[in-house]
Amino acid sequence: MGLTNKTKKIKIPMHEFSIKIPIIQKLNILTQEENDTLAKDIIALGDVQNKTTNVQGDMTDWHLHTHNNLVQTLCDKVLDIIDESYGRKNSFNPPKFYIRKCWGATYGKGDWTKAHNHGGSVYAWCYYIRMPEGSSPLVFPEGDLSIQPKEGELIVFPGIVRHSVPPCECEEKRIMIASNVGVK
């Protein structure tokens, strides 16, 4: 039989697993002055994605760490935290983690993020620069978990975990940086 141009859908069986998922939460990765600088930088970049991603708010390009030294510094610190938590201590053959993508997002009133995961990444992380009163939480629907981040807080979780952000109810801007982490 010859090959055709028609794509055959492959049915993948789904199985439910009940496992514990590690989530790292760490405060004060950067100084207040550094957070202030990042907030200005991310707001100045505006919405280059035009709400074409899961983020239905203003979003920078996917490679913020390659053209912002302070974001690269943050990424390096996060990779050290991930390596310390998941890598070196827990493996005879530790992985080498790297930043696959990194972006900033600004949420105004009514902005939100669709439920999604970062399945192609080993880990994902979010760093919260501004979290005014009324800011939306980070929600993990399958774990029935909602985390209300604090300003200056880092949250790291496995990339396969679905998460979302409900519509923001505050007038002030909720500003954060997110990233995908791969392994070499």
pLDDT in tens, 79-94: 999 998 876 666 677 7
Neighbours of 10 (CB within 10 A): 5
Q: What is the tens place of the pLDDT at every residue in 2-20?
A: 444 566 788 888 888 888 8
pLDDT of residue 154: 98
- What pLDDT, on the 0 to 100 scale, is given for residue 1? 45
Domains and CATH numbers, the chain: 24-183 (2.60.120.620)
Question: What's the average model confidence in pLDDT over 34-46?
Answer: 97
pLDDT tens track for 60-78: 999 999 999 999 999 999 9
Q: Where residue 161 falls among pLDDT bands split at 50, 70, 90?
A: very high
Residues 91-106 pLDDT 10s:
677 789 999 999 999 9
> If DSSP states are collapsed to H, E and C, what string results for the chain?
CCCCCCCCCCCCCCCCCCCCCCCEEEECCCCHHHHHHHHHHHHHHCCCCCCCCCEECEECCCEHHHCCHHHHHHHHHHHHHHHHHHHHHHCCCCCCEEEEEEEEEEECCCCEEEEECCCCCCEEEEEEEECCCCCCCEEEHHHCEEECCCCCEEEEEECCCCEEECCCCCCCCEEEEEEEEEEC
User: Can you tell me the mean pLDDT for 27-54?
Assistant: 96
What per-residue confidence (pLDDT) applies to 122?
95
What does pTM read for this prediction?
0.89
